A and B are shown apart, each in its own frame.
Chain A
């Protein structure tokens, strides 16, 4: 009773509308203990100026494919392991180790039940990038006597493509299969690309940029027929579409934590036991995680990932229904006010939370700079540092000018209808403003076909 009173008094004291420049009591103590990161922006009462852009409040978040906020239920499961249950799960001699080990094993079973696997087949890593590295390099190095060939797609994630390039430098052969205009792989091309010395087929389940879902069951059947191990990067697919490792016939699967509302810095790798797939470890050390990934497990992060998987299993149906309704709302809202809007990637075989749109006659960077109240991305976070249009869109055959102006809207569990409406309004407003200024659009409205113009060189 008194503790409830205390909590409510504490909360009332702390959640009074703070003066923007005054720090709250508890965080003042924290500020004295640690220095704040250097703030290279000015805070005024009316907003923040950062990188030359002035915004009045935190932008609304529509970039769930880049990363997702940590679900409060996941944070609640993690916090005890930062406060009092801080043992090393590999310490076998005392209570702290035993309780951490219990938590890790419980999390392992939570992750396994989401993908219909056994807990013994799950190895925790530091993220999907590490899992992809272990899968591709580890499998090929293990079987390098007999198997020299890897098949993958042109639209894979950068870490898969980079690992394959590394293998090419070591002397392996890699086939980068093209995709159709809708982003899906052609199964006949896949069948004809498989050779007797093919050691791995790596195809991601849900693409992070365009959101298309590859035909996993059919690919699994082909791989089973030719007896080739099948690896998939399911970072974007976990907890969003139904994953069944037996139906898909995958031998290896990379999972990522921070895409399913778990913390960053944790991921997992699924390794099939029947028939057993062997990998050469990329991290050597004390033999933790069955020798495949040595190193102390970060108990809070592992617990967080397990809790997130359990929440995702319960919420999958509710989230999917809601997010698909929001996606329709976004698409119809934009299409009803603008023409020249193209969806990149197949509309039928797609994860509902990813909408990649190209706006004709508009430049992408200026559109993004105008959308400062909406956090979206063009291309994926890993490629947006460079100025080239994304390689995924190029592989789809999208023309250069449309590829430059693509925007990826990500809808997640916490997105609301008001945010979607606000995003529609801001996008439409910005696109109309840019098109008004565009001479190309004027010419198109007059009926001139842009492709017939002979541009003169100056």
Chain B
């Protein structure tokens, strides 16, 4: 974690955001998948306003720890997929 003490570069932040979107696709559960993607994007948008390097690196390391949580949980949720997906995941009749 010593490497994260210095301020992260914009490309690192972008790559973290993309990792969240990638990991959210791995959740078999519709609600968790949508929530992970949406919450990550909203958090990055909100934190884009930060200007102090200490708060930026704090937010970045928080983001990294949450990404680890998401990766672990994606594996756990994939181990116990229910036999039927949610109705929101089925190709539905257009209305």
Q: Which positions in A face B, CB cutoff 8 Å? A: 7, 10-11, 14-15, 18, 20, 24, 26-27, 43, 47-48, 55-61, 69, 72-73, 75-76, 79, 318, 373, 413-416, 418-419, 422, 425
User: 12 additional contacts, CB 8 Å, given A26-B79, A59-B87, A413-B35?
Assistant: A7-B71, A10-B75, A56-B84, A58-B82, A58-B86, A61-B31, A69-B32, A73-B69, A79-B76, A373-B87, A414-B32, A416-B34
Give the A-B pair count, Cβ closer than 8 A. 85
Q: Is the interface of A mostly helix, strand, loop or mixed?
A: mixed
Q: Please tell me if B74 contacts chain A, counting CB pairs below 8 Å.
A: yes
- The distance in angstroms between the C-alpha atoms of A414 and B70, with both chains bound, is 15
Q: Are A414 and B35 in contact (CB under 8 A)?
A: yes
- Give the distance to chain B from A161, nearest Cβ to Cβ, in Å: 33
Closest to B79 in A: A26
Closest to B62 in A: A314
Closest to A415 in B: B31
Residues of B within 8 A of A422 (CB): 87-88, 92
Per-position binary interface string of chain B over residues 55-95, scored 1 when its CB falls under 8 Å from any chain A CB and 0 otherwise: 00000000000100111111111111111111111101001
Q: Are B83 and A11 in contact (CB under 8 A)?
A: no
A60's partner among B39, B72, B74, B86 (CB-CB below 8 A) is: B86
Closest to A425 in B: B95
Q: Are B84 and A47 in contact (CB under 8 A)?
A: yes
- Give the distance to chain B from A97, nearest Cβ to Cβ, in Å: 26
Residues of A within 8 A of B76 (CB): 75, 79
Closest to B89 in A: A57
The 7 A-B pairs at the shortest CB distance, nearest first, are namely A414-B31, A72-B73, A57-B87, A58-B86, A15-B78, A76-B69, A57-B90
Residues of A within 8 A of B90 (CB): 56-57
- The distance in angstroms between the C-alpha atoms of A384 and B14, with both chains bound, is 49
Closest to A14 in B: B78
- Give the distance to chain B from A9, nearest Cβ to Cβ, in Å: 11
A–B pairs, 24, beta carbons within 8 Å? A7-B75, A11-B26, A11-B75, A11-B78, A15-B28, A15-B81, A24-B79, A43-B83, A43-B84, A56-B84, A56-B87, A56-B90, A57-B84, A57-B85, A57-B89, A58-B84, A59-B87, A60-B86, A69-B31, A72-B70, A79-B76, A414-B32, A414-B34, A425-B95
- The distance in angstroms between the C-alpha atoms of A68 and B36, with both chains bound, is 17
- The distance in angstroms between the C-alpha atoms of A27 and B83, with both chains bound, is 12
Closest to A4 in B: B71
Q: Are A419 and B75 in contact (CB under 8 A)?
A: no
Closest to A79 in B: B76
Q: Are B73 and A75 in contact (CB under 8 A)?
A: yes
- Give the distance to chain B from A79, nearest Cβ to Cβ, in Å: 7
Residues of B within 8 A of A72 (CB): 32, 36, 69-70, 73, 77
- The answer to whether residues A58 and B85 also contact, given A11-B75, A26-B79, A72-B70 and a CB cut-off of 8 A, is yes
- The distance in angstroms between the C-alpha atoms of A413 and B32, with both chains bound, is 10
Residues of A within 8 A of B77 (CB): 72
